[in-house]
Amino acid sequence: NAGVTQTPKFQVLKTGQSMTLQCAQDMNHEYMSWYRQDPGMGLRLIHYSVGAGITDQGEVPNGYNVSRSTTEDFPLRLLSAAPSQTSVYFCASSPREGQTNQPQHFGDGTRLSIL
Amino acid sequence: AQSVTQLDSQVPVFEEAPVELRCNYSSSVSVYLFWYVQYPNQGLQLLLKYLSGSTLVKGINGFEAEFNKSQTSFHLRKPSVHISDTAEYFCAVRTTSGTYKYIFGTGTRLKVLA
């Protein structure tokens, strides 16, 4: 029972580099989200998806792209990394509307440093 | 729009003492309310949730929370804490319909002292 799997766990980038943070879930959840966690700011929603082919912006979407070609995968792309994007990134998933007795499941996070 | 306020950024408490972590929210529509716990270097785990019904909600690890609609609060309590409860605790809301977005508070770091 893998749940939500995030890779990599750690990454160091140089300013201007691009990379993709991977997120996969094996629970057939329709809803998936990306958050960033910064000290004193809690979790802030970057992008979310309510199903394959459907994505929308959260609170802090600038500098990030997402796509949802399958139910299982929801990658987060940094096109040109900036030091302000140094953070811990969490992916989460949950079942569709009508099953809110089920919790939102979180991955273990990706710790990203931009030099 | 919804917002969540956790006024206490850090709460130190001695082992076996009671604790209350405060959460206030703002929303013009009905919301679901959640408390999550995060242990060091881990993701978030659900402690408890309020969806409807009884305003006193019991969760895992002996935690409970009370939904107070008039005060727009959802404070988390535990009558006797353990060293293992040391963690960061997040309050979150989402609307009962429409957008799927969860809004999180800034977190409260609970430190249990021996």
**pLDDT, tens digit (0-9, with 9 covering 90-100), for B41-88:** 888 999 999 988 889 999 999 999 999 999 999 999 999 999 999 999
DSSP B5: E
Cβ–Cβ contact B32 with A under 8 A: yes
**Tell me, what DSSP letter sits at residue B41?**
T
Is pLDDT at A101 greater than 60 in this prediction? no
Interface test with A, best of B44, B48, B108 (most A CBs within 10 A): B44
Both tokens of residue B46? 């659900």
Exposed / middle / buried, residue B89 (Cβ in 10 Å: 0-12, 13-18, 19+):
buried
Q: Give contacts of A31 with chain B, Cβ < 8 Å.
A: 100
Whether the per-residue pLDDT at B102 is higher than 90: the answer is: no
Chain A within 8 Å of B103 (Cβ-Cβ)?
yes
Q: Do B42 and A108 touch (CB under 8 A)?
A: yes
Q: Could you tell me if B49 lies within 8 Å of chain A, comparing CB atoms?
A: yes
Residue of chain B with shortest Cα separation from A36: B104
Position B42 scores a pLDDT of 85
Which residues are CB-contacts of A114 (< 8 A; sequence separation ≥ 6)? A12, A13, A14, A15, A81, A82, A83, A84, A85, A86
Q: Which of A42, A45, A101 faces B107 most closely, judged by CB atoms? A: A42
Question: What pLDDT shows up at residue A49?
Answer: 93
Question: Please, where are the H alpha helices in B51-101?
Answer: none
Chain A residues whose CB is inside 8 A of the B50 CB are none
Percent of the residues in chain A that have a pLDDT greater than 70, as a whole number: 93
Residue A99 has pLDDT above 70, yes or no: no
Q: Return the pLDDT at A4.
A: 94
Which tens digits make up the pLDDT trace of B11-32?
A: 999 999 999 999 999 988 888 8
Look at phi and psi of residue B18 and say left if phi exceeds 0, alpha if psi is from -120 to 50, else beta: beta
Q: Is A90 on the interface with B (CB under 8 A)?
A: yes
Q: Nearest-CA distance from B99 to chain A in Å?
A: 9
